[in-house]
Amino acid sequence: MIGIIDYKAGNAPSVLNALHRLGVPSSLVSSPDGLRAAAGIILPGVGSAKATMDSLKDMGFIDALEERVLKQGIPFLGICVGFQVLFEHSDEGDVDCLGWMPGEVKKYPEDMVRVPQMGWNEVKFVRRHAILSSLNDSEFFYFVNSYYVIPRDENIVLAKTRYGIEFCSMAAYKNMCAAQFHVEKSGAVGLKVLRNFAWMAGGKHC
């Protein structure tokens, strides 16, 4: 079963619907206890990094996530803001984040591009990974974001995208994968990513 964290600043129902279209056993998780039965965890995100961190703290998720993801090593997927909060600090709300990946989150330079980025953009994969199974060397995904991550370790970068500047649009580190784009809103190619994640978590590989 894939557990999708359902918190006040999230986009969990859309991710759940996408997994159900694939026939992947999944459910919304609204309390830390609900993570115990999950074979994989997805942290979706809509809104700000600060609101996301505040919600995770208020609902008691931080310790439970660290236990399941960092200590027990079950597969984890972060989406959009759920990607950004994996890093150490975000300028969005000047907030310290989970710190599971080395790096920080900055706002796009508004003198270069329209903020937020909203729409389809090309994602170029810089190395192969199980979550990219059956995908081409580059694919188009749907983005809605005003901020982007700057990893301190280039080895965790999985994909890059250009929006005024080139930025990391996907990362993978140990049992964790994360994407800046919305896989659940990216049509057939986004469903492939979710399908691959379910396979990594020992679920149904459609």
Question: Which of 80, 97, 168, 177 is labelled catalytic?
Answer: 80
80 noted as active-site residue: yes
The sign of the CA dihedral 182, 139, 17, 203 is negative
Ramachandran area for residue 118 (φ above 0: left; ψ -120 to 50: alpha; else beta): beta
CA distances from 63 to 7, 56, 202 (A): 15, 10, 24
CA atoms within 13 A of residue 163's CA, in its CB half-sphere:
30
The sign of the CA dihedral 142, 2, 98, 157 is negative
Question: Which of 104, 177, 184, 205 is labelled catalytic?
Answer: 184
184 noted as active-site residue: yes
Both structure tokens of 90: 């975000």
89 noted as active-site residue: no
What is the C-alpha separation between 10 and 80, in angstroms, rounded? 10
Phi, psi of 90 (to 5 degrees): -125, 135
Question: Which of 97, 139, 168, 182 is labelled catalytic?
Answer: 182
CB atoms within 10 A of CB 120: 13
Q: Which residues are catalytic?
A: 80, 182, 184
